Amino acid sequence: MNTLTRRRLLEGSAATFVFMNLPAFGRPRARRRSPNEEIRCAVIGLRGRGRSHVDALRAMPDVKVVALCDADREVLASAEQGFVERGEKVDTYVDLRKVIERDDVDVIATATPNHWHALIAVWACQAGKDVYLEKPVSHDIWEGRQIVKAARKHGRIVQTGTQSRSSFGIREGIEWMQAGNLGAIEVVRGFCYKPRQSIGKVDGPTKVPEGVDYDLWTGPAPMKPLMRRNLHYDWHWVFDTGNGDLGNQGIHQMDLCRWALGAGELARGVLSIGGRFGYDDDGDTPNTQIVLFDYEKAPLVFEVRGLPRDLAAQQENWGGSMDRYRDVSIGVVVECAEGSLVLPDYHQAQAYDSKGQEVRAWEGADDHFADFIAAVRSRKPEDLSADILEGHLSSALCHMGNVSYRRGQLADPDEIHRRISDAEVPSESFERFCRHLEANGVDLAKTRARVGPWLAFDPAQEVFNGDEAADAMRKGTYREPFVVPEEV
């Protein structure tokens, strides 16, 4: 669906939605508001993170949540109940298109599954709405750039849900390091060691939960039978709808890595090693992964682990027994010539000298939603701490890593060692990767890892060079009528 017109009919499985007497989405029509006027918001996607959107927006002065939307009627009713109990009025929708076309909605905040992010954002920008867009902002590289184009073309404020960008503690620590206080950056390491157990394995299609409009839930993704136990959340571990933990939790740390590196564009190349180890389930994204990015200043190495430190931990305390690097399980370590900067969470930064002694520390963060609302009032994208361009670049790095992984082939450990032997940093990371899997009972000689090709990338054009199959994966295929438009 390129631009919604007066003649176009959109069909959802619940009802037919007719735009006969409505302006096209391609013509922004949200009325201009004074800086002090009430901002009216709609939240799309109401499980987990979406509820946080509702709570954060409701808590701000002169901001009102006027509409809720979810393709799952049970989830929608549960979210509405909170408003009923408080005596507040809110409109509810199953079809997000009906929310976007409302003239009296100023802001769309969305926490849907990843495969819906770009289309919602583009449609909202075309309809004259500002957008708070959860991470990753996109499901593939191309559509992320389309959101940036839409935001700029229609003059919209689009904030990315990478809330560490609103941490003044992290900002001050990075600025101090970038001023040269720890010497030149040698390597930036990102870590997503987060417990992820099996999602189970089914013998055949499972029933979609009652009350779910599966056509709308599926949206741009391929329409397939549900082949896992749980419709919700476990979509993260299926490439049709998710991006694995690299693009789920890992996007936060990837954004910090790129911020620390001072990289305002994508990497010149990428290579990934990984697999789904320790169980046989219905997921197809890796639960253990290394991604190497080639930046001129220094390499960026990202590691994902979903298994705990060993087999005993799987039995005793899976969630509380993850591996750590420099006492970090989910965070960033920037190794410099004269020390290191550690970003252990969403709001702290710690600097260490070459002997490992802490020399500086910073802490604190502002409210990420308040930052967004302030920019909505000022109408200045530069007032955002996490503008959509930042979100696109960091999300696209995750997609680059997954493209290399998906283009890869199974190989035994010796072959992988040979492939990366001339690169010291990934060799060291792969050694730890092997020890980690061995401790979890995984024999890589039998259950081999997948090693992707080294993919050259043109950051200016945002295309892969020399690998047509990889470049084809920059852009997803979309199911009519849920198509991210070429012309935004």
Domain-terminating residue out of 164, 190, 217: 164
> Is 381 within the bounds of a domain?
no
Can you give the pLDDT at residue 20? 28
Longest dimension (CA), the chain: 70
Domain-terminating residue out of 108, 132, 164: 164
pLDDT in tens, 1-15: 333 322 222 333 333
> Is 358 within the bounds of a domain?
yes
**For residues 282-306, average pLDDT:** 97
Q: Are 153 and 180 members of one domain?
A: no
CATH of the domain at 419: 3.30.360.10
Query: Which of 103, 97, 153, 163 is closest to 129 using CA atoms?
Result: 103
**Given a cut of 70, is residue 36 above it in pLDDT?**
no
pLDDT in tens, 383-394: 999 999 999 999
Can you give the pLDDT at residue 19? 31
Are 177 and 336 spatial neighbours (Cβ–Cβ below 8 Å)?
yes
pLDDT in tens, 141-181: 999 999 999 999 999 999 999 999 999 999 999 999 999 99
**Between 33 and 370, where is the model more confident?**
370
Amino acid at 414: D
Can you give the pLDDT at residue 25? 53
CATH of the domain at 74: 3.40.50.720
Give the range of the structural domain holding residue 153, as residue numbers without chain letter: 9-164
Q: Are 13 and 159 members of one domain?
A: yes
**For residues 225-241, average pLDDT:** 98
Reduced to 3 states (helix: H, G, I; strand: E, B; else coil), residue 162 is: coil
Single pTM value for the model: 0.93
Question: Which band of pLDDT confidence, cut at 50, 70 and 90, is reported for residue 34?
Answer: low
Q: Are 241 and 308 members of one domain?
A: yes
List 455's β-bridge partners, or say none: 270
**d(Cα 45, Cα 469) in Å, to the nearest integer?**
33
**Given a cut of 80, is residue 412 above it in pLDDT?**
yes
> Is 310 within the bounds of a domain?
yes
Q: Are 288 and 245 members of one domain?
A: yes
**For residues 351-372, average pLDDT:** 98
Long-range contacts of 171-174, Cβ-Cβ distance < 8 Å, separation of 24 or more? 172/349, 172/362, 173/341, 173/343, 173/348, 173/349, 173/350, 173/351, 173/360, 173/361, 173/362, 174/259, 174/260, 174/341, 174/349
State percent of the chain over pLDDT 90.
Answer: 90
Q: Are 254 and 334 members of one domain?
A: yes
Q: Are 284 and 319 members of one domain?
A: yes
> Is 63 within the bounds of a domain?
yes
Question: Which band of pLDDT confidence, cut at 50, 70 and 90, is reported for residue 424?
Answer: confident
DSSP conformation class of 127 = T
Can you give the pLDDT at residue 4? 31
Question: Which band of pLDDT confidence, cut at 50, 70 and 90, is reported for residue 425?
Answer: confident
Question: Which band of pLDDT confidence, cut at 50, 70 and 90, is reported for residue 18?
Answer: very low
* Number of compact structural domains in the chain: 2
Question: Which band of pLDDT confidence, cut at 50, 70 and 90, is reported for residue 426?
Answer: confident
Angle between helices 388-406 and 141-153 (to 10 degrees): 160
Name residue, tokens 């040979």.
418
Can you give the pLDDT at residue 21? 30
Domain-terminating residue out of 104, 134, 164: 164
**Given a cut of 50, is residue 23 above it in pLDDT?**
no
**d(Cα 53, Cα 135) in Å, to the nearest integer?**
13
For 243, half-sphere exposure in the C-beta direction (CA atoms, 13 angstrom radius) is 30
**For residues 252-271, average pLDDT:** 98
Q: Are 158 and 63 members of one domain?
A: yes
Q: Are 257 and 151 members of one domain?
A: no
DSSP conformation class of 31 = P
The two structure tokens encoding residue 335: 């190794």
Weakest-pLDDT range from 4-18, 312-326, 413-427? 4-18
**d(Cα 16, Cα 9) in Å, to the nearest integer?**
7
> Is 4 within the bounds of a domain?
no
Are 386 and 259 spatial neighbours (Cβ–Cβ below 8 Å)?
no
> Is 239 within the bounds of a domain?
yes
**For residues 28-35, average pLDDT:** 50
Residues sharing a CB contact under 8 Å with residue 414, sequence separation 6 or more, in sequence order: none
Are 148 and 388 spatial neighbours (Cβ–Cβ below 8 Å)?
yes
Can you give the pLDDT at residue 33? 52
> Is 194 within the bounds of a domain?
yes
Question: Which band of pLDDT confidence, cut at 50, 70 and 90, is reported for residue 422?
Answer: confident
Q: Are 231 and 335 members of one domain?
A: yes
**Mean pLDDT of the residues in the chain:** 93
> Is 382 within the bounds of a domain?
no
Q: Are 339 and 445 members of one domain?
A: yes
Q: Are 70 and 182 members of one domain?
A: no
**d(Cα 235, Cα 252) in Å, to the nearest integer?**
19
Q: Are 152 and 222 members of one domain?
A: no
First-last CA distance in the chain: 11
Query: Which of 408, 456, 422 is closest to 272 using CA atoms?
Result: 408
